[in-house]
Amino acid sequence: MSNRFGSMLLAAVVIGVFIVAVAGPAIAPHSPTAPVGVPYALPGEFPPFGTDHLGRDVLSRVLAGARPVFITSALAAVVGTGLGAVIGLGAAVLGARKRWQEGALLRPLDAIAALPPLLVLLLIQTAQPSRFGIIVAVAVAGAPLSARVIRAAAAPLVTRGHVETAVARGENMSWILGRELLPLVAGPVAADLGLRFVMAVYLVTAAGFLGVSAGETDWGILIAEALPGAALQPAALAVPVALVAVVAVSVNLLADRALAKSRALIA
């Protein structure tokens, strides 16, 4: 499989899952909340994935549960990577002049990075039990890692001629970060966005599994509900778990390819 074909295939998988996630409730064959058969009906008895412990269609519930996971994860990833990019690029520029300024910018993030992401999620959800709280928690948990990754990518580039020229002619920081440095690290930023999205999917699913998601049914809630009856109806548990795995692997591989392509272009 060529790199180009592999990238296109991975992109098609990710885009397809996103489309299904957005259109899920509209294309679900049944209501995700109404019983349509006997409880724990197996896929052969009630296609395609059977029913859950209350007789609700597993396929319909999986389709309906995809939207909150993807929208919440995408927003959290964009916010986390955006914040990390600003701090990481700023740290790279400041570090080339005065190391203490770089340290002052990154040390508070190191304190946040020392906390397990799940603990950050639980702490923020306790104070703000909502989808907004999940977005804030995932963004806060991911931003320190994004800042470190992007700072490492940008640090060797701040000594390039066009960057030093922009500094010498007195351009403001927003110009230097956005016009001079950001295009050079677009690949690492895109790769980091993919990683933050995967992390967000894990944390959003974990929030649902732990019962702190607040709001719509999502894949984490489906996994938690299906776990006690997994021996009777394994498909109700296997389907959402498999979808989380497919999304994580596909986005990770796509991010790796984006990073490799960016390195080749910069070199």
pLDDT tens digits, 155-214: 888 877 777 777 777 677 787 787 778 888 888 888 899 889 999 999 999 998 988 876
pLDDT > 90 in the chain, percent:
34
**Residue 131: which pLDDT band, with cuts at 50, 70 and 90?**
confident
Question: d(Cα 52, Cα 40) in Å, to the nearest integer?
Answer: 5
pTM above the 0.75 mark?
Answer: yes
CB 219 within 8 A of CB 66: yes
Q: Which of 190, 183, 185 is nearest to 81 (CA)?
A: 190
**Domain regions of the chain by residue span:** 66-218
Domain made up of 66-218: CATH architecture: Orthogonal Bundle (1.10)
Residue 261 has a pLDDT of: 67
- Residue 264, pLDDT > 80, answer no
Residues 18-59 have pLDDT tens digits of 887 778 888 888 888 889 988 999 887 677 899 999 999 999
Question: d(Cα 11, Cα 7) in Å, to the nearest integer?
Answer: 6
Residue 20 has a pLDDT of: 79
Residue 250 has a pLDDT of: 83
Q: What are phi and psi of 46, to 5 degrees?
A: -145, 90
Question: d(Cα 11, Cα 130) in Å, to the nearest integer?
Answer: 31
